[in-house]
A and B are shown apart, each in its own frame.
Chain A
Amino acid sequence: MNLLTDLKLKVWRQAGPDVDGYFETYAVDKVSDEASFLEMLDQLNERLIGEGKEAVVFDHDCREGICGTCSLMINGRAHGPQRATTTCQLHMRTFKSGDEIVIEPWRASAFPIIKDLMVDRSSFDRIVEAGGFITAPTGGAPDANLILVPKPVADAAMDSAACIGCGACVAACPNGAANLFTGAKISHLNVLPQGQSERYKRAEAMVHAMDDQFGSCTNHGECSAACPKEISLDVIAMMNTDFRKSKSKNRKSLSRS
C-alpha cells in the first residue's frame, strides 16, 4: 500500500435543482492507493462532517460495478479514466500524488441535477415502462426447455442485457442521446425467440419514449467508449432497423384500414 499525497479535488457543489452550482476545491492528503475512488470521497466527507460542513452528495450503492447507481464525470470522462470500469470500481492506484481531479455530475438535460453530484435518471425508467419487457404474466409459462435458444443467440442477448443503466452513455454523448441504453434493452429482448411477438411494437414504443426525453444520435460513438460494460454500437443499428420496420408495418396497416 502506498499513500497518495497532495491531491486537489475540484468538486461540483449545488444545493438544489433550482440554484446555481459552483466548483469547490478541496485538498486531500494521504489516500491509500488501494482505496477506491468513492472511498476517497468517503474520507473527504468524514472530514467535512468533522469540520461541521455538509457532506458531498453522490449516488452509490453496490460498489461492485453492477447496480449502476454510481456516476460522476471524472476529469471530463464518464466514470473516469479507466476503460470498462464504473466509478465505484475505479481505484486510486490509477492516480498519482499531486493530481488535480475534477469531479462533476452527469451532464445531460434529461438527467437534471438533484444536489451536488446526484442526478435524476428516472427518464430511463420511462423508456423501459414504454415497452422494455416481454408480456408474460406470472403463472402461464411453458416448460423452460420448450423454448430453445441457440447459444449464440443467448450470448448476444446477454451481451446487451449486461447494461447496468448507469447513464454514462448519455453523459458522454455530445447530444445527450440515450440510444445506446435504449438499443441495448431492445436488442436484448428482440433477438430472443420469446421477444418476437412484441418485437416491432416494443422498438417503436421505446424509441418514442426515448425521443420525448433525450437528444438525437449523430453516431459519435462516445457512448460505447464510455460504457462500463462495453455495450457495442451494434445495438443502435438493430434498434434503428426494428424501428424502421415497425414504421413501415404501420403504414401497411394504415393503408388497409
Chain B
Amino acid sequence: MSTVLNAKVPEGALRDKWDNYKADAKLVNPNNKRKFKVIVVGTGLAGASAAATLAELGYQVDAFTFHDSARRAHSIAAQGGINAAKNYQGDGDSINRLFVDTIKGGDFRSRESNVHRLAQVSVDIIDQMVAQGVPFAREYGGMLDNRSFGGAQVSRTFYARGQTGQQLLLGAYQQLSRQVGLGGVRLFNRTELVDTVIIDGRCSGIVVRDLLTGEITSHAAHAVVMATGGYGNVFFLSTNAMNCNVTAAWRAHRRGAMFANPCFTQIHPTCIPQSDESQSKLTLMSESLRNDGRVWVPANADDSRPAEQIPESERDYYLERLYPSYGNLAPRDISSRAAKRLVDRGHGVGPLKNGVNLDFSAAISRLGRDVVEERYGNLFQMYERIAGEDPYATPMRIYPATHYTMGGLWVDYELATTVPGLYAAGEANFSDHGANRLGASALMQGLADGYFVLPYTISNGLAPLLNKAIPTTDHPAFVQAETEARERFNGYLNVKGTRSPDWFHRELGKIIWDYCGMERTQQGLEKALSELPALYSEFKKDLRVTGTGENVNQTLEKAGRVDDFFQLGMLMCRDALDRNESCGAHFRSEYQTDDGEAMRDDENFCHVSAYNWTGDPMASELNKEQLVYETAHLATRSYK
C-alpha cells in the first residue's frame, strides 16, 4: 500500500512561506539546548555547516566522517562556483529569477517551495562565507566578482579561482573546527555509518564502524542528520572521489526512509575522456571553462588531422549551431547529450575518438594568455598533468561523465525524511534540483541546508521532546543492529570467493552506465534488471576480501559499499524504467521530439517517485508526491 507523501509546505504566497514557517516554528530555550544531542553524519558543506551552526546554538553535536579529517569531504573538489541572487552585477538577477532558472533547469521535477527558499537564502550564504574569510575573486575596487555559468543568462556565480568548493569547505571546516576546539562538537573521524536505529518509529541513533579497529559501536541522539553526499560512484567511473558511497543513505532507506528519484543522475559535459581500461576515476574540468572555451568537433567524421590544422570552415561548433541563444553555456544535460550524439556518429577526437574539443584559441587571442591563465590556470595545469597535453596550444578533449545525483532521501519542507527524527541535507537529499541541477548550485544547496534551513527545522522538531527520555544504546534495537552489522562484515570476509570488491564494482558500473546512463531505453533497462540480480548473487558467492576485520581493511570497507551500490543500482533501473518520459538528465530514447530533445509527460509524471524498502531491492514499493506549480509555469525548456 503506498503512502500519501505530505511535504508539509507552509501556507502563504510562495515568497512568504519561509518567513511564515520561521515565525511559527517552535524554539528551544538557550538553556535547554544543551539537553539535546544531534548526530551529524558527513562533514562536507552541508554536514560541517549544520554541525557548526547547531553547536553554536548550544546543542550537543556529534559529527562523524569516514575521512581522516573533516576537511577532506568531496565538496572540496567543486571547482566553478556558487550561485547567489545578489544581483551585484546589475544584470537583472533576482531571487525570483534564480528560482525560475532552477525550476526550469530541473525540468519541472522539483518542489517549488523548497527551491524558492533556496533562492532566498542564497544571498545569506555569500555574506556568511565572506565573513568567515573565504577569499572570493574580487574586482580591483574590492567588490566581489561574478561570472556566468551554464543554464543562466546572468552573472550570479561567485568563485575563488577554480577552487571554490575547496574554499567554501575550508570555511565550513574552520567553523566546525572552532566548535571542536570549544567542545561544542565531538568529532569522530575515520568512522563510518553502518546502520541507523529506529525505535518506536523514531530515529534514535546510529551504529558506526571504526575504520582503524573495526570496532562497531552505537550512538544515541534526539535527531540524526544525513549529510552524506551522492551516489554517483554506482557507475564505478565518475567524477566522485574514490570513497564516496551511498551506504549511509541506503542504510537509512532500509530502515524506513524513502528514497526519491534514484534515476535522476547528472552527467557533466566537461570531463577528461577515459584513456584506458585501468582507469579508476574520471576528472572533471570545471564547467566555467565553457565561458571562454568553444566546443567543436571536425565536421568530417574521418578527419584525423590535429585540431590546430583543421580550418574554421571544417569545424562544427555544434552547441553554437544548435542552441544559438545559450551557445556553449547550454545546460549540462543538453550539452552532454549533444556531445554523445556526435561521438556516436564518429566525430569524436583523441586517440580513442571518445571526446570533443574545448578550444581556447579564440579566448587567448581575444583576452590574451595572461587573462586566460588567471581565470583558469589551475584547471589548465590539472588537464596537462592528466592528459599530457598543453591546453594553451591545443584544444582540451572533453567528454561527459557521471557527476552528481539529484535523487536521494526523500525530504519534506523541513528536510525531514519519512522517519521522524532523521533529516537529510545536501546532495544526500533529493529536494531542490529536480531532474537536472544547474552549475554552481550544489555548493549553494549544501550550505543553504546546513547553515540556514536545518538549524530552524531541527529546533522545531526537538522542542516537543524537551525533558523526555530517549532510548539509550543498551536498548535491544541498538544491540540487534550492532549484531547485524558485525555479521554483515564477517560475512564479507567469510565468502572466500575469487573476485575482489573492485572487480564487482567495475562490472556493476558498466551495466549501469550502458543501460542507465546518458540515454536509457525500455529494452536496455530490462536487460540491466535481468543482469544485475545475477551479478549480485555472484557477488554474494564469489567475493574475496583478504585480511581481517580487526584493523584497517580498505578491501572490507569497499565490499560493504559495493553491496549497497548493487541494491541501489537495481532501484535506479526500476525507477528509470517506470518513468516513461524524458526529463532533464533522465533521457528515455522512446520519448524525444523529432529534433532529439527531451519530451516530458506532465500529464502522468509530474511527480516525485519515492520508494519504500520491502526487503527485496527488485520489489521496492513506489509512492508519489504530486508536484504542483503555482508560480513557475510548466513549459517546455528551450535553450535555442
**Chain A residues with a Cβ under 8 A of chain B:** 1, 15-16, 31-32, 34-36, 38-39, 42-43, 45-46, 48-50, 52-55, 57, 59-69, 82, 84-85, 89, 91, 93, 114-115, 118, 120-122, 124-125, 128-130, 132-145, 147-151, 153-155, 157-158, 161-162, 164-165, 188-189, 192, 194-195
Contact = CB atoms under 8 A, between A and B. Distances in A.
Contacts of A140: 131
B332 to A, nearest CB: 19
28 contacts: A35-B276, A35-B279, A36-B280, A39-B278, A42-B278, A49-B546, A50-B498, A50-B544, A54-B553, A64-B283, A64-B284, A69-B68, A115-B551, A120-B68, A121-B68, A122-B69, A125-B177, A136-B131, A144-B129, A144-B144, A149-B135, A150-B140, A151-B138, A151-B139, A154-B135, A155-B135, A161-B170, A188-B133
B174 A128 contact: yes
Given A39-B280, A136-B175, 15 more contacts: A32-B275, A34-B388, A38-B280, A39-B279, A53-B546, A55-B554, A59-B68, A67-B77, A114-B552, A128-B173, A129-B181, A147-B130, A161-B170, A164-B166, A165-B69
Contact of A64 (B77, B129, B170, B500): B77
A62 B385 CA distance: 15
Nearest to A163: B170
A89 B386 contact: yes
B52 interface: yes
A237 B626 CA distance: 61
Contacts of A144: 86, 126-127, 129-130, 136, 144
B212 interface: yes
A175 to B, nearest CB: 23
B479 interface: no
Interface string B396-412: 00000000000000000
A137 B56 CA distance: 7
Contacts of B174: 128, 132-134
Contacts of A134: 131-133, 174
Given A91-B385, A144-B127, A148-B141, A46 B132 contact: no
A34 B276 contact: yes
Given A64-B382, A129-B180, A147-B131, A69 B281 contact: no
A69 B76 CA distance: 11
Contacts, number: 228
A195 B161 CA distance: 20
Interface in B318-334: none
Given A128-B174, A194-B132, A89 B382 contact: yes
B451 interface: yes
Query: Closest 5 interchain pairs by CB?
Result: A148-B142, A129-B181, A133-B174, A141-B131, A157-B135
B127 A93 contact: no
Nearest to A125: B69
Give the secondary structure class of A's interface. loop
A114 B386 contact: no
A161 B164 CA distance: 11
A145 B143 contact: yes
Contacts of A118: 552
Given A57-B554, A61-B67, A69 B131 contact: no
A50 B181 contact: no
B615 interface: no
Contacts of B261: none
